[in-house]
Amino acid sequence: MIALTLAEIAAAVNGRLVPGDGGAGPETLIDGESQTDSREVGPGHIFFARRGEETDGHRYAARAVDAGAALLVVEHEVDSRVPQIVVADSTDALGALATEVVRRIREAGDLTIVGITGSNGKTTTKNLVAAMAERTGPTVASAKSFNNEVGGPVTMLRVAPDTRTLIAEMGASAEGEIARLTAMAPPHIGVVLTVGLAHAGEFGGIETTFRTKSEMVRDLPASAIAVLNRDDPRVAQMAELTRAQVHWFGLGSEADVRATDVDTSADGTRFVIHADGASLPVHFRVLGEHHVMNALAAAAVGRALGIPLAEIVETLESATLAAPGRMEVLGGRDGVTIINDAYNASPDSMSAALRTLAQIRRPAGRSVAVLGAMSELGEYSIEEHRRVGLQAVRLRISELVVVGAEARQLHISAINEGAWDGESTFFPTQDEAFAYLTETLRADDTVLVKSSNAAGLQRLGDRLGEAYA
């Protein structure tokens, strides 16, 4: 973080400064990272003590101080030897400090802010954009999937005076949350990838999802750029809602950045990228045809940042993994390939992963889909799990292994399809599924492990990868 005095921080968060025992005064400078987890605190950091549903960060304030915290932001005074700022709400204070820091950097330097949202693909696209932006100068990007009211400002507070690009992944579980994040760090380039059923249960329906995702571009000024998915009808509608210049990406001829000749195999996807009258072949080693759209979105941002198409292609070709737990290729013994894609799942990403499994199966082996529940679908849950089961049948997946009671509808849907020559097996627990799979997998089998993070199948994918390493 840029250096601010204790007085400046207190003013930014509308808090009351309480001096500590070490002689720090209002003019003492603080420039450490901001943390909400005491286990992540290091020397000079700021610890924001938040109240959560299951715990209270104030209980860990002493641990944060012992780890080296130079400042506490709290909702009530705690016994501490370091300064503390008392605020009404620590989460709001975190956002307020991020807003002030970003404002100062924007006014003093040459900072470009890229905001990325969508029902699927945010983290993959963010990682690709970050790799491109690093070609132009120091870059700050969200760690992992830090995209909410906490992770967003924590990322923003990492900007420094020499930061050239800030890439903020912006997620939401309710209306207004993306607008809140964009107010903290107003994007110069706003990207919307998809509008799908991910989190639809929390949002209350697809139309609410549309309104929420469109918050990314509604408030962009005319000088900004909206990077929109031309192939997603709902995202395409957002062109009518923004004053910004619209740059399209997609597979169709109307896109400014598009792909043709898409060919998916076990070593990634090959396609030809077209932009600004130029065309170049790409070997994108991130597994799954659906990631081509993320690559195109990132390329559109790279183009807006002024990066030549040849350098954009170099960046895409250097990427080998979307993110840990996303289409991660493991295994290899006896030709058994494990694809661990269990970090997250929505109906759209589940469908895309199953298509990839069907496309890359070795002729001598089987396709095995190990599937868990898709979370946060609300009233759509039963129907969408049923639909995925039907798709597995129609794609002629050799075997379906369903794990966990919340995913049982997948199993029921598949076994009710009499024309299928494959089979489906249900297991209540991961341990049972692991034991079954290690006994029954054959040479050259290709195995997809896919679920929402809450279902916990990422660990199952890792165990299978280790077993067949």
Task: Tell me the pLDDT tens digit for each residue of 312-322.
Answer: 999 999 987 76
pLDDT digits (tens, 9 = 90+) for 339-368: 999 888 888 888 989 999 999 999 999 999
Whole-number average pLDDT of the chain:
91
**Distance of alpha carbon 432 from alpha carbon 118, whole angstroms:** 35
Contacts of 136 (CB under 8 A, 6+ apart): 164, 165, 305, 306, 307
Residues 334 and 354 in one domain: yes
CATH at 67: 3.40.1390.10
SS3 of residue 206 by DSSP: helix
Instruction: Calculate helix-pair angle for 381-394, 347-360, nearest 10 degrees.
Output: 10
The reply to whether 226 and 281 lie within a common domain is yes
- Give the span between the Cα atoms of 119 and 349, in whole angstroms: 9
Domain assignment present for 175: yes
Facing residues of 74 across strands?
Answer: 86
Worst-scoring range by mean pLDDT, 53-62, 296-305, 361-370? 53-62
Residue 102 domain-assigned? no
Answer yes or no: is pLDDT of 419 > 70: no
Q: Are 193 and 116 in contact (CB under 8 A)?
A: yes
243 and 365 together in one domain: no
Instruction: Quote the pLDDT of residue 61.
Output: 95
| Residue 98 resides in a domain | no
Q: How confident is the model at residue 35 (pLDDT cuts 50, 70, 90)?
A: very high
Total number of domains in the chain: 3
Q: Convert the pLDDT of each residue in 216-266 to its tens digit.
A: 999 899 999 999 999 999 999 999 999 999 999 999 999 999 999 999 888
Q: Alpha-carbon distance 141 to 113, whole Å? A: 10
Is a pLDDT exceeding 80 seen at residue 324? no
Residue 110's CB is within 10 A of a number of other CB atoms, namely 11
Q: 245 with 190: CB under 8 angstroms?
A: no
pLDDT tens for 60-113 read: 999 999 999 999 999 999 999 999 999 999 999 999 999 999 999 999 878 999
Strands (DSSP E) along 373-459, which ranges? 399-403, 423-427, 446-450
Query: Is residue 286 predicted with pLDDT exceeding 70?
Result: yes
Query: What's the rounded mean pLDDT across residues 269-293?
Result: 94
pLDDT value, residue 313: 97
State the pLDDT at residue 327.
83
Is the distance from CB of 26 to CB of 17 less than 8 angstroms? yes
Looking at the domain assignment, is residue 97 inside a domain? no
What is the distance between the alpha carbons of residues 224 and 244, in angstroms, rounded to a whole number? Answer: 5
Last residue of a domain, one of 91, 120, 153: 91
Name the residue with higher pLDDT: 381 or 466. Answer: 466
10 Å CB burial of residue 33 (0-12, 13-18, 19+) is middle
Instruction: Give the pLDDT confidence score for residue 372 in this predicted structure.
Output: 93
Residue 100 included in any domain:
no
- Is residue 307 located within the same domain as residue 209? yes
Identify whether the C-beta of residue 278 lies closer than 8 Å to the C-beta of residue 309: yes
- What pLDDT is recorded for position 116? 95
Please list the residues that pair with 51 across neighbouring strands: 56
pLDDT, residue 195, reads: 87
Q: What is the CATH number of the domain that holds 234?
A: 3.40.1190.10
- The answer to the question of whether 124 is labelled as a binding residue is yes
Average pLDDT over residues 381-398: 91
15 Cβ contact list (under 8 Å, min separation 6): 9, 73, 85, 86, 87, 93
Residue 118 annotated in ligand binding: yes
Are residue 66 and residue 124 in the same domain, yes or no? no
Residue 13 lies in a domain: yes
pLDDT at 460 over 80: yes
pLDDT value at position 145?
67
Cβ-contact 342, 325 below 8 angstroms: yes
pLDDT at residue 204, rounded to an integer: 54
Same domain, 365 and 418: yes
For 169, the token pair is 């992944």
pLDDT of res. 24: 83
Count of alpha carbons within 13 angstroms of residue 212, beta-carbon side: 27
Residues 87 and 149 in one domain: no
pTM of the prediction?
0.86
- What value does the CA radius of gyration of the chain take, rounded to a whole number of Å? 24
- Which residue segment(s) compose the domain that 50 sits in? 4-91
CA 301: distance to chain centroid? Answer: 17
- Measure the CA–CA gap between 349 and 322, rounded to whole angstroms: 13
| Higher pLDDT among residues 52 and 8, named by residue | 8
How much is the pLDDT for 196?
Answer: 73
119 is annotated as contributing to ligand binding: yes
Domain check: are 133 and 272 in the same one? yes
Q: Last residue of a domain, which of 266, 288, 318?
A: 318
If pLDDT is split at 50, 70 and 90, which confidence band does 14 have? Answer: very high
User: Do residues 216 and 182 touch, judged by C-beta distance below 8 A?
Assistant: yes
The answer to whether position 103 is within a domain reads no
**Distance (Å) of CA 107 to CA 379, 403, 423, 453:** 46, 52, 61, 39
Report the C-alpha dihedral over residues 86, 87, 92, 95, rounded to 10 degrees.
Answer: -50
**CATH number for position 341:** 3.90.190.20
User: What is the rounded distance in angstroms from the CA atom of residue 147 to the CA atom of residue 216?
Assistant: 13
161 shares its domain with 304: yes
122 annotated as belonging to a binding site for a ligand: yes
Token reading at 224 = 């900004």
**Per-residue tokens: 302:** 């790279």
Sheet harboring 257-265: ordered strands across?
139-141, 165-169, 112-117, 189-192, 225-229, 245-250, 257-265, 268-275, 278-284
The answer on 263 and 168 residing in a single domain is yes
450 annotated as a binding-site residue:
no
Asked whether the predicted pLDDT for residue 380 surpasses 90, the reply is no
pLDDT of residue 418: 64
* Cβ atoms of 403 and 371 closer than 8 Å: yes
Tokens 């991910």: give the residue.
198
pLDDT at 273 over 60: yes
Q: What is the pLDDT of residues 171-215, one digit of tens each?
A: 877 788 999 999 999 999 999 999 875 544 454 567 888 888 899
* Range list of H helices, 119-205: 122-133, 151-156, 177-184, 200-203
| 413 annotated ligand-binding residue | no
308: in domain: yes
pLDDT of residue 455: 87
By percentage, how much of the chain surpasses pLDDT 90?
A: 72
Confidence grade of residue 267 (pLDDT, cut at 50, 70, 90) = confident
Q: Could you tell me if 393 and 368 lie in one domain?
A: yes
In this structure, the answer to whether residues 163 and 186 fall within a common structural domain is yes
